[in-house]
Structure 1
Amino acid sequence: MSDRFANHASSLDSPAHNGFAITPDDGASLPETTRALYVGTGGDIVVVLAGGAEITFANVAAGTLLPLRASMVLATGTTAAAIVGLI
């Protein structure tokens, strides 16, 4: 399959080119810092951002795309599920 954008540099404004399923964990960083999180099942999500701040997003609706540079998704306090990290 051809990819007309293969020779273009990625930026934070460009679409994600890869992703991975996230299981919230209080002790493990994500395999890669994200450019966004997709929340498949709504609820609260607690993240540690790339800059180190821990933030709780309350009542995130299912199907939400959060443009976050997250390094961790914490299990404690996270009730959302089916979370996907986009990079």
Structure 2
Amino acid sequence: MSDPFQNRSLPLSGPARDLIAVTPSDSIDLVDVAVALYVEGGGTVAFVSAGGGSRSVTLPDNAILPVGVRRVDATGTTATGIHALVL
């Protein structure tokens, strides 16, 4: 099978290379910084941004949050089915 990503640089504006389930944690960062989050069940997402800031946003069901994220905190997060979009 051919791989269209094989010889291509991965821009932040392009499609993610993978979607990884997130288990919120107050101390463990994501393995890779996410370029965005996808949330299946709406609610609040508390996170540490790629820039290091602590943030909290409320999202509806099936929402995409187009912000770089290093960690999704357990404390303050009520959204469910969170996935990290990574390059």
Percent identity over the alignment? 40
Q: Structure 1 unaligned segments of length 5 or more: list them.
A: none
Partner of 1:21: 21
Q: TM-score, normalised by structure 1?
A: 0.92
Partner of 2:66: 67
* Number of corresponding residues: 86
C-alpha deviation, 1:5, in angstroms? 4.3
Partner of 2:10: 10
2:72 counterpart SS class: strand
Q: TM-score, normalised by structure 2?
A: 0.92
Matches within 5 A, 1:46-85: 46-58=46-58, 60-85=59-84
C-alpha deviation, 1:2, in angstroms? 2.4
Q: Could you list the structure 1 runs, at least 4 aligned residues long, displaced by more than 2 angstroms after superposition.
A: 1-6
What one-letter code is carried by the residue in structure 2 that aligns with 1:70?
V
What one-letter code is carried by the residue in structure 2 that aligns with 1:27?
S
Q: CA RMSD in A?
A: 1.1
C-alpha deviation, 1:18, in angstroms? 1.1
What one-letter code is carried by the residue in structure 1 that aligns with 2:83?
V
